[in-house]
A = this chain, B = another copy of it.
Amino acid sequence: MGLADDDGVASLSLRRLAALLHVTPMALYRHVKDKDDLLDGLVQRLLSEVDLAGDDGADLRSIVSAVLRVLRQHPTLAEIVPTRSMRTRAGIDLAEKVVGLLREEGHSPVDAAQLSIFLLDAVIGLVTRQPGELAVADPTLRRAMLAEKRKTLQDLEPEAYPNLTTSAEFFLGVPDEETYFSNGLAILLNATRPIR
């Protein structure tokens, strides 16, 4: 987990992990079936930090924002959660809770299931797609990529791209992180309101 947090999930390899533990790569296979199993374990560990029995599970808003809180502490790990959550106990417990709360709001079994997938996916999107936060560990490369993006946006002719030039600052980095995330939460929860 530390490895992923520090250098990004992309650079988390069995070989690097083994080196960190002063052990050969093959030694890990005694503790983990394969790399997928390792990643599943990380997701389990992450999602188990959400305390469904306590305040986190009070209502839809508090549970989604609890997930957000946990993800923000491990932004690089966030991206591996969506496809793996249901492969872990903690993910299944979370889904049970969220589907249940959606049912209580009057959604059908199918709608509640679809909305639960949407909610988890979208709250992760808030973290992984936060403007200005590229998932690149190397700080000099990061800066270079952001500078490149700044240049592309600044080079847009305002006549052809009036809206992007007006909103350019936001795409390069949110003005305020807390506002960004609370807005994001509002958008997500808004999506669960009945349409008709």
Measured CB to CB, the residues of A under 8 A from B are 82-83, 86-87, 92, 95-96, 99-100, 103, 109-115, 117-118, 121-122, 125, 128-129, 131, 134-135, 149, 152, 156, 160-164, 166-167, 170-171, 175, 180, 183-184, 186-188, 190-193, 195
Assembly CA distance A92 to B162 (angstroms) = 12
Known: A122-B125, A164-B96. A195 touches B186 (CB 8 A): yes
B190 touches A109 (CB 8 A): no
Number of copies: 2
Query: Of B122, B156, B170, which one neighbours A109 at CB under 8 angstroms?
Result: B170
Residues of the B chain whose Cβ atoms lie less than 8 Å from the Cβ of A134 = 83
Question: B129, A121: Cβ atoms under 8 Å?
Answer: yes
Partner of A191, one of B96, B110, B190: B190
- Whether B113 contacts A171 by the Cβ 8 Å rule is yes
Q: Are A95 and B164 in contact (CB under 8 A)?
A: yes
Complex CA–CA separation, A111 to B114 (angstroms)? 25
Give the residues in chain B near A166, CB-CB below 8 Å: 103, 109
Q: What 7 A-B pairs have minimum CB-CB distances, sorted nearest first?
A: A191-B191, A113-B167, A113-B170, A99-B163, A121-B125, A100-B163, A109-B167
